[in-house]
Amino acid sequence: MKLTFIDDLVDGMILGEDIYDKFDNLYLSSGAILSKSLIRSLGRMDLDYVHIVEKLVDNGEKEAIIIEDHLNEEYKKSVDSFKRIFKGAKIGNRVVSDELDDCVNPLIDEINSSNNIAKRLWQIEMCDEYTYDHSVQVCMLSALIGKWLGLTEDAIKEVSKAGLLHDIGKINIPDEILNKPDVLDDDEFKIMKTHPTLGYVLLMNNKGFAEDILQGVLQHHERYDGKGYPSGAKAKEINKYARIVAIADVYSAMLSDRVYRKGKSPFEAARIIMDSSFGYLDPYYSMIFLNKISQFYVGNIVKLTNGDIGEIVLIQRNEPARPLVNVEGKFIDLLKESEIEIEEIIYW
């Protein structure tokens, strides 16, 4: 990454930092490929220089520098590794903390090395089984939130393990409930609600897990207003890791397709998290998460509920779920047009 004067920018350079306008709204996010029009816009923003990470090569024809993407490969390896651990625990094998390093460490390396990991996370080709995909997604999102909160490297690793293992107690839930292709009835849900306690007991008996990891597993369904389970803990009574994992768990679950419903768009999920952040989830952690992850949506092509298709051009910092969308030169401010929602992301 290097500083490059605005006058020296050329078509195809890749931005290495987030750019905000004078109102402190995100204008361009790190990883954006600069076009001539974007360079002209930057020139009007009273900037002397920006950080650039890569440049496209022009030898008569445009050639993109190809950076090998290890994320899909590492993700699939982690899913396979966790699947073995999960199935082994189901037949009585010990869950050893050190064994989880094979799942966690490569993913954390990707998170630490990539400025665009939040966007790339949702470009991963999912595997076939929700339980394992979801656990690895929650692992990565928990690590990402930990990074954004400024946790130490050791703490990021621990919270990622709590995310990976948050549903490990489901090995003791009957398959007919766990794999039911429909919403659970009240009795089935009572049984499902035992999985945090079952997971805590399993890991505690296996030893080798830090208490914060155990509490992250036990309390990830506790809620900020005290209406969660298993114990009804509230606010700061809930372990820090559990409050992080809860956000990652909710976000991943809402975006995922299930047999009985289609996954929500990231913006609908963001709106739900924002609406829930003062009763359901930690409000401070939620706003950090939403502000950070929404930065990666600038430049995405989206379909609106009124049928329009346009490009996200600006994220409102205080309302990240209500961006400004350019529809063929007409700007639709979703903060003002409250009846219009983002239905889906067509292109990341």
**Predicted confidence (pLDDT) per residue in 175-191, tens digit:** 899 888 888 999 999 99
Contact criterion met (CB below 8 Å) for 99 and 105: no
pLDDT at 295: 77
- C-alpha 203/C-alpha 88 separation (Å) is 13
Half-sphere exposure of 8 (CA within 13 A, CB side): 10
Q: Do domains 2-63 and 71-263 have the same CATH topology?
A: no
* pLDDT tens digits for range 49-79: 788 875 444 443 333 333 335 677 888 889 9
Torsion sign over Cα 218, 220, 223, 229:
negative
Rounded mean pLDDT of 105-121? 79
SS3 299: coil
One DSSP character per residue, 136-190 reads HHHHHHHHHHHHHTT--HHHHHHHHHHHHHTTGGGGGS-HHHHT-SS---HHHHH
pLDDT at 61: 38
Whether residue 127 has pLDDT greater than 70: no
Give me the sheet containing 49-54, strands edge to edge.
2-5, 49-54, 14-15
pLDDT at 342: 87
Q: Which fold has domain 71-263?
A: Hypothetical protein af1432 (1.10.3210)
Q: Nearest 10 degrees: CA dihedral of 170, 173, 179, 182?
A: -110
What is the CATH code of the structural domain delimited by 2-63?
A: 3.90.105.10
- C-alpha 138/C-alpha 146 separation (Å) is 12
Whether residue 322 has pLDDT greater than 80: yes
Please provide residue 189's backbone torsions phi and psi, each rounded to the nearest 5 degrees.
Answer: -65, -35
* pLDDT tens digits for range 247-270: 999 999 988 877 667 778 777 888
Q: What percent of the chain has pLDDT over 90?
A: 43
Task: Give the residues across from 26 on adjacent strands.
Answer: 20, 315
Contact criterion met (CB below 8 Å) for 243 and 145: no
Where along the chain do its domains lie? 2-63, 71-263
